[in-house]
Chain A
Amino acid sequence: NAGVTQTPKFRVLKTGQSMTLLCAQDMNHEYMYWYRQDPGMGLRLIHYSVGEGTTAKGEVPDGYNVSRLKKQNFLLGLESAAPSQTSVYFCATRRSLASYEQYFGPGTRLTVT
């Protein structure tokens, strides 16, 4: 039981390049979230999903896209990376509508030069 895993752990991109971050969970949780963490700030919500095939915008969605084709996977895409997207990205899951707790993955550190 791995919980929440994220790949890759680290990545360096050049401005304008694209990439996809993968979040995978084996807990059969309905809800999945993508947050970014910047120095001196709390985590901020990028996008979230309330179930397979559904996605919605969070606080800071610009420059990102997401997909949830399978319940266990939530993908975060950067179509044209910018230096402002240098950050640590965390995925989180929540079991169901009735639950409150969110469980986080280990993070992906992304640097855009």
Chain B
Amino acid sequence: GENVEQHPSTLSVQEGDSAVIKCTYSDSASNYFPWYKQELGKGPQLIIDIRSNVGEKKDQRIAVTLNKTAKHFSLHITETQPEDSAVYFCAASRDTGRRALTFGSGTRLQVQP
């Protein structure tokens, strides 16, 4: 089955700096890669996603890049703010009926004011 590895497990940045979180996946048939933000005591919130037919997607301060050949994808957050502090999860799924997500182990991002 699919295996998703995520790095780093913790990341501390100064407010205004950029943050990058990286994930690799094992199943070359995976074609959908979402990123979730989870705040303490809450459920994961979808913040951006990318499908395998594009290499990059951007939404304001957040961008995701995908390298299908290397089987890795990354989340980029620019101009970080304290409210970006949370745990971020990457995930992958393939085109089966269930399209269940396989998650990475998470990155705790702390933005220091």
The chain A residues found within 8 Å of chain B, CB to CB, are 4, 31, 33, 40-45, 48, 50, 56, 58-59, 90, 94, 97, 100-107
Known contacts A43-B103, A100-B51; decide if A50 and B98 are in contact (CB<8 Å): yes
Residue-wise interface mask of B (27-63) relative to A, using a CB-CB cutoff of 8 A (1 in contact, 0 not): 0000010101000011111100101000000000000
Which residues on A sit within 8 Å (CB–CB) of B51? 100
Known contacts A100-B32, A101-B46; decide if A42 and B97 are in contact (CB<8 Å): no
Which residues on B sit within 8 Å (CB–CB) of A40? 9, 105-106
Instruction: Count A/B pairs, Cβ under 8 Å.
Output: 61
Q: Is B45 a contact partner of A101 (Cβ separation < 8 A)? A: no
Which residues on B sit within 8 Å (CB–CB) of A33? 100
Count of chain B residues with a beta carbon within 8 Å of a chain A beta carbon? 28
Q: Is B93 a contact partner of A100 (Cβ separation < 8 A)? A: yes
Q: Is A90 a contact partner of B106 (Cβ separation < 8 A)? A: no
**In the assembled complex, how far is the CB of residue A81 from the closest CB belonging to chain B, in whole angstroms?**
22
Contact of A104 among B32, B43, B104, B106 (CB under 8 A): B43
Q: Is B43 a contact partner of A101 (Cβ separation < 8 A)? A: no
Does B11 lie at the interface of the complex (its beta carbon under 8 Å from any beta carbon of A)? Answer: no
The distance in angstroms between the C-alpha atoms of A41 and B106, with both chains bound, is 7
Does B86 lie at the interface of the complex (its beta carbon under 8 Å from any beta carbon of A)? Answer: no
**In the assembled complex, how far is the CB of residue A56 from the closest CB belonging to chain B, in whole angstroms?**
7
Q: Is A106 a contact partner of B101 (Cβ separation < 8 A)? A: no
Which residues on A sit within 8 Å (CB–CB) of B1? 59
Which residues on B sit within 8 Å (CB–CB) of A59? 1, 100
Task: Kindly identify, within residues 1 to 43 of chain B, every residue whose CB is under 8 Å from any CB belonging to chain A.
Answer: 1, 4, 6, 9, 32, 34, 36, 41-43
Q: Is A42 a contact partner of B4 (Cβ separation < 8 A)? A: yes
**In the assembled complex, how far is the CB of residue A100 from the closest CB belonging to chain B, in whole angstroms?**
5
Which residues on A sit within 8 Å (CB–CB) of B104? 42
